[in-house]
Chain A
Amino acid sequence: DAGVIQSPRHEVTEMGQEVTLRCKPISGHDYLFWYRQTMMRGLELLIYFNNNVPIDDSGMPEDRFSAKMPNASFSTLKIQPSEPRDSAVYFCASGWDRAGGELFFGEGSRLTVL
């Protein structure tokens, strides 16, 4: 398998613009997670899905953030409108529904909002 695939790898945009980050999880995985990496908070859990259903979105910082998983092979994280403080690396990860399993991460999407 190719692993978790994220796009774009880099995104530079201006404040107020809409940003959409994409993720293709590993085939067969039941869980999909979106994380944001910052210096202050490390890897911060934003939202996670089980079988395409959002389970916990309490980590989503504001209403400007939204995430969807229309099918088992695709998820999006959208920021609208974007702000400079949203600049970070956003990671998608997937895993199986089993005790003692680990997460498999994508390479991340580095977002810069000017």
Chain B
Amino acid sequence: DQQVKQNSPSLSVQEGRISILNCDYTNSMFDYFLWYKKYPAEGPTFLISISSIKDKNEDGRFTVFLNKSAKHLSLHIVPSQPGDSAVYFCAASPSNQFYFGTGTSLTVIP
């Protein structure tokens, strides 16, 4: 059974607007969460992470929010750029194991 779920397979956003990608998890033992970005024909690359002791982590245009009580995290991209168009995977780790979701394909429309 999927322990990490991304229920939106795709998302389209206008350039300059905010992109919000969502992720839910089921295992309360997960204590570290990551977002990866994947372009076609390439491997996933690390984007941003957050520890369970925090509820927000920011890196430039990217912010990850964690709601532990709801077992939910989200990635905000502001402002969205055409180069952000990619598949985004969220991942959760209970310590040196990494479980990934099914991915959300983001398209940023110029």
Contacts and interface: CB of A to CB of B under 8 A. Distances in A.
Interface residues of A, number: 27
Contacts, number: 58
A102 B49 contact: yes
Contacts of B100: 35, 42-45
B103 A42 contact: yes
The 7 closest A-B pairs by CB, nearest first: A42-B102, A105-B43, A43-B100, A102-B46, A107-B43, A105-B44, A42-B103
A104 interface: yes
A58 to B, nearest CB: 11
B102 A40 contact: yes
Given A41-B102, A43-B89, A48 B97 contact: yes
A100 B102 contact: no
Given A42-B6, A107-B41, 12 more contacts: A42-B102, A45-B98, A45-B100, A48-B97, A91-B44, A93-B98, A97-B96, A103-B98, A104-B46, A105-B36, A108-B41, A108-B43
B32 A103 contact: no
Contacts of B99: 45
Interface of A: 4, 31, 33, 35, 39-45, 48, 50, 56, 91, 93, 95, 97, 99-100, 102-108
Nearest to B48: A102
Contacts of B2: 41-42
B45 interface: yes
A38 B95 CA distance: 24
Contacts of B6: 42
Interface string B36-54: 1000011111100101000
A5 to B, nearest CB: 11
Contacts of B96: 31, 50, 95, 97
Contacts of A95: 96
Nearest to B49: A102
B54 to A, nearest CB: 11
B103 A107 contact: no
B98 A42 contact: no
A41 B103 CA distance: 9
